[in-house]
Amino acid sequence: MKPLWDNQIEEYITPDECHVHAVRSVLATGRTARQGFQIVTLGGYGRAMVIEGRVQSTEADEAAYHEALLLPAYCLLPHTRRVLCLGGANGGVLHRLCAMPELETVVQLDIDPELHRHSLEHLPHLHHDGPADPRCHLAFGDPRTLLADQDHDFDLVLADLPDAVEDSPTPGLFTQEFYREVKGKLAGNGVFATQAGPANFLDPEFFASVLRTLRSVFRHVLPYTLTVPSYGIPWGFALASDDLDPAALTEAVVEQRLARLATAPQCYDGGTHRHMTALPLRLRTALATAGRVISDADTLAVRV
């Protein structure tokens, strides 16, 4: 097939379907010790981070993804003083956490210091002043090794992870054993929030498996979805807790909690929360019958 543009990114949604972006300029490209990356300007989306050929965030719609990942958990929690963030050092999370009025400390664990440096240089819109905030502490290394060294009293553990593609470290961060390790780091009334892959009722295996795996570890698990346009397909997320039921979170509480933030959200409010948690019938049906519990011995990657 003839390319649509002289330079483009072809991102497969399934082995039989592709989402294509026009690349207007290349700011940086290469391979770190851990993964291949591009930092580019995409037509219609602006500056973007691409890891292993898959778009992770863009200037135009990163707020939709990062607020969907973070703010439902913030609204559910009675307070968010101590936060552990797995991944996400490429930006988008820290400055939003720093807007939370009760925040005392954030520990962020990531695998790739080289990519972090590239992101700071080329994607300053993602970072703002988050990395300079004295409440924020960043460490690089193997995520599970770093996780084992952390305290056991985090109000929120947040998994801001790249797509779980084959031959990357990410599939090992969606397993039952890993979720048990995460659960062991939560304080009473603690909450775990994670991205959970494509919310595609025609190909539900990964999203459904993440939910089954979480439910094998946590008492309460709430799936929700949001359209992030640059991904080409709705995206899945999940909240998990033993002590707090995410399904009990109301629009009124969402609005009350958001009003306390130092920076108002761009994409998330009470009405958006209602929409995100109201999964379409076909997706609910697909998730009810698909998936399996993922283990360290039998990991699962997103189909591409």
Are 156 and 123 in contact by the 8 Å Cβ rule? The answer is no
Give dist(CA 30, CA 281) in Å, integer: 42
Q: For residue 254, give the nearest of 267, 271, 241 by alpha carbon.
A: 271
Q: Where are the beta strands (DSSP E) in the chain?
A: 8-14, 17-31, 36-42, 46-51, 54-58, 82-87, 105-110, 136-140, 154-160, 186-198, 220-227, 234-241
- Is 160 one of the catalytic residues? yes
Catalytic residue among 160, 163, 242, 269: 160
Give dist(CA 96, CA 114) in Å, integer: 23
Are 153 and 187 in contact by the 8 Å Cβ rule? The answer is yes
Q: How far is CA 8 from CA 3, 220, 239, 276, in A?
A: 8, 42, 35, 31
Q: What are phi and psi of 144, to 5 degrees?
A: -75, -35
Q: For residue 115, give the nearest of 93, 91, 84 by alpha carbon.
A: 91
**Would you name the residues annotated as active-site residues?**
160
